Structure 1
Amino acid sequence: MELGSWLVEISGTPEGARLATTLALVSALAHAIFGALQKGRYDPWLTRGAIDGWLLVLSAPIALFVVPWPNATTALILLGAIVVHFAYKVTMALAYERAAYTVVYPVVRGTGPLVTVIAASLFFAERFTLVQWIGVGCLSGGILLLAVRNISEETIDPPALKLGLIWALLGGILVAIYTTYDAYGIRQSPDPFTFLAWFFFVTAFDFPLLAARRFRRMDVKPVVGPLIWRGLVGALIAWVSFGGVLLATRLDKVGEAAVLRETSVVFAALIGWFILGEKVGPRRLILMGTVALGAIIVETGG
């Protein structure tokens, strides 16, 4: 594929770095929308099942008939991706079951980039300058302080909140694991779009089955129509969000892509403010500014 060859050619160049920055920021916006879809009246297991069901449907013709079949190395990496992403999705569903979206999302996103930068330094020999580490601290610290502020407003019982936070922290670690692992996978593949298409296809089988089983066991079943439409929108956004950040890690540093993507917390807060009518307040605005400043420092401090 010509586009895939071009992406491979510009990887590691200034042109590739600029494109990676753009892709990571677009991914951040898309991921904020993706996260907001899981906030609402639907069970998180059903929502994720609907999203993955559509990912399966949309990705199958591309994987089976458009891109080449994966070679043996890519196929083995994809098998590992199934396990890693299944663990992540289960962890996130458990976290959303027990704590509010506004608590879970910042904890996951604040933990992820810090661990990813450390993992990228170990596995890809990436080096951050002292200035960039200060930026990582601003970004992760700002995100986690947003979570602390949101926790103070929670009214659910403390044991449930504590369990939700544990799952959220584990989710953040798994974000770092899958970001590093997927970056390795897309770099090993001769064509990045082959890896992307097969990645979305093979990692989407599990949750539709879990969601269907859960739906059958529900005493009071939700209306299916809106859930299906929510799943379609979520699947399209997932292609932009996860696909964008994967391509960014192919083009430039894994750690920088991971940090920039976590500006999704700022986009999520803005969506909550302007679209969902949520209160923001001066403290949250300051913390959002800290997150954005951290991302800028990381990008310009290298």
Structure 2
Amino acid sequence: MSTGVFLAVLAAAFLHAAWNSLVKLGANKLTAMLILTIVQGCAGLAILLTRPFPTVDWVPWLAMSGAFHAGYKLFLALAYENGDLSRVYPIARGAAPLIVLGSSGIFLSDPLDGRDIVGILVLGAGILGMARGVFGAGEAVALVPLALGSAAMTAGYSIVDGLGARVSGDAVAYVGWLFFLDMALFTPVCLALRGRDVLRADARAWRVGALAATASYAAYAIAVWAMTVAPIALVAALRETSILFAVLIGWLAMGERMDTGKAVAALLIVSGVALTRL
């Protein structure tokens, strides 16, 4: 992985943590996620008007991607209704690279050397360490399966989108289509779960949602592009440094507690990143 790609993925990681923080701050997490999805979908549609129409070989990848992204957002929004950013985010993001690594031998052909694998495992250990204490702290146990469901969806779309973007040969158009399809799938699911009330939001909620959508779109567009020029499992793991950014945002901006466990886990994350770069 080149230095330019490495720095771009780190920037995407920060943007990912930032938009999750904005969703968590919203009064209604599912509504906040829906606003983000609608804005992203409209942005994707606008971009699609400037790109060639996709060929048939894009279709299965885009269909799977839209389903995975919709499932990811649903699990994540429900998890945030049950737990703090500094608990849900590490579990949701931490398990994903390990699932991708376990699947890479089956679905992917990207070369990973021993150092890369060790780096991913250390990074995953640090991220999962961030999630400890759910049971001991008396937090809602429901957040764990919901966050793990989000992680499974993340692993799914990481593999599908990395391969799909390569098949398409146009990462910009691919991302536009996947966010448009995500909106088409996620919106009716939200309406089915919460009815029309899920669409009720004031002007401030839409402004915050639009800001979160901008950060989310940029973060994922960078990640998908990176997956076309670097090993997918390595990019997926490096993206999870967003955990470190999320913990800092939770501590400095949201007043969440920083304890020794979180500090140690953060050091493991940094170590994992270093191993993937040496």
Q: Same fold (TM over 0.5)?
A: yes
SS at 1:206's partner residue? Answer: helix
1:202 aligns with 2:187: no
Is 1:21 aligned with 2:6?
yes
Q: Which amino acid aligns with 1:45?
A: L
Percent same amino acid among aligned pairs? Answer: 24
In structure 2, how many angstroms separate the alpha carbons of the residues matched to 1:29 and 1:150? 24
CA drift at 1:185? 0.5
Q: 1:131 to 1:22 in 2, by over 3 A?
A: same
1:38 to 9, 23, 35: 23
| Stretch deviating more after TM superposition (97-106 or 206-215) | 206-215
Within the alignment, does 1:286 sit opposite 2:271 as a pair? no
Query: In the alignment, does 2:79 pair up with 1:95?
Result: yes
Q: 118-127 or 77-86, which moves further after superposition? A: 118-127
- The Cα of 1:62 is off from its aligned counterpart by 1.3
What is the correspondence of 1:1-302 to structure 2 with a 5 Å cutoff? 17-64=2-49, 66-149=50-133, 152-153=136-137, 155-156=138-139, 161-211=140-190, 214=194, 216-217=196-197, 223-300=201-278
The verdict on how the C-alpha distance between 1:216 and 1:203 changes in structure 2, with shifts beyond 3 A counting, is closer
Q: Which amino acid counterpart does residue 204 of structure 2 have in structure 1?
A: P
In the alignment, the residues of structure 1 paired with residue 93 and residue 41 of structure 2 have an alpha-carbon distance, to the nearest angstrom, of 26
Q: Could you give the per-residue CA deviations for residues 37-92 of structure 1, whole angstroms, max 9, x where no partner exists?
A: 1212422210111001111222222112x111111111332122222222222222
**Counterparts of 2:170 and 2:253, CA distance in 1:** 38
Task: Single out whichever of 36-45 and 94-103 deviates more from structure 2.
Answer: 94-103
The 3 A distance-change label for structure 1 pair 30 and 217 is closer
Distance 1:26 1:125 in 2: 26
Q: Distance in 2 between matches of 1:114 and 1:212?
A: 33
- Distance across 2 between alignment mates of 1:20 and 1:151: 38
The amino acid across from 1:87 in the alignment is G
Which deviations, in whole Å up to 9, do the C-alpha atoms of 1:88-114 show, x marking residues without a partner?
222222322333332211111110011
1:10 corresponds in structure 2 to none
Greater Cα offset, 113-122 or 44-53: 113-122
Paired residue secondary structure (2:256):
coil
Root-mean-square deviation over aligned CA pairs: 2.2
CA distance in 2, matches of 1:83, 1:114: 21
- Structure 2: tracts of 5 or more residues without a match: none
TM-score, normalised with respect to structure 1? 0.84
Distance 2:66 2:255 in 1: 37
CA contact (8 A) 1:52 1:205 kept: no
Counterpart of 2:183 in 1: which secondary structure?
A: coil
Maintained 8 Å contact 1:49/1:209: no
Contact kept? 1:24, 1:245, Cα under 8 Å? yes
Q: Describe the shift of the 1:139–1:270 C-alpha distance in structure 2 as closer, same or farther (beyond 3 A).
A: same
The 3 A distance-change label for structure 1 pair 130 and 233 is same
Aligned residues of 1:121 and 1:127 also touching (Cα < 8 A):
no
Retained in 2: the 8 A contact 1:45–1:210?
no
Partner Cα separation in structure 1 for residue 61 and residue 115 of structure 2:
34
Q: Which amino acid aligns with 1:19?
A: G
Deviations 1:165-192 (A, max 9, x none): 1121122122111100010110001322
State the TM-score, normalized to the length of structure 2.
0.90
Q: How many residues align?
A: 277
**Quick one: distance in 1 between partners of 2:26 and 2:177?**
31
8 Å CA contact retained: 1:42, 1:222 = no
Q: CA deviation at 1:209?
A: 4.1
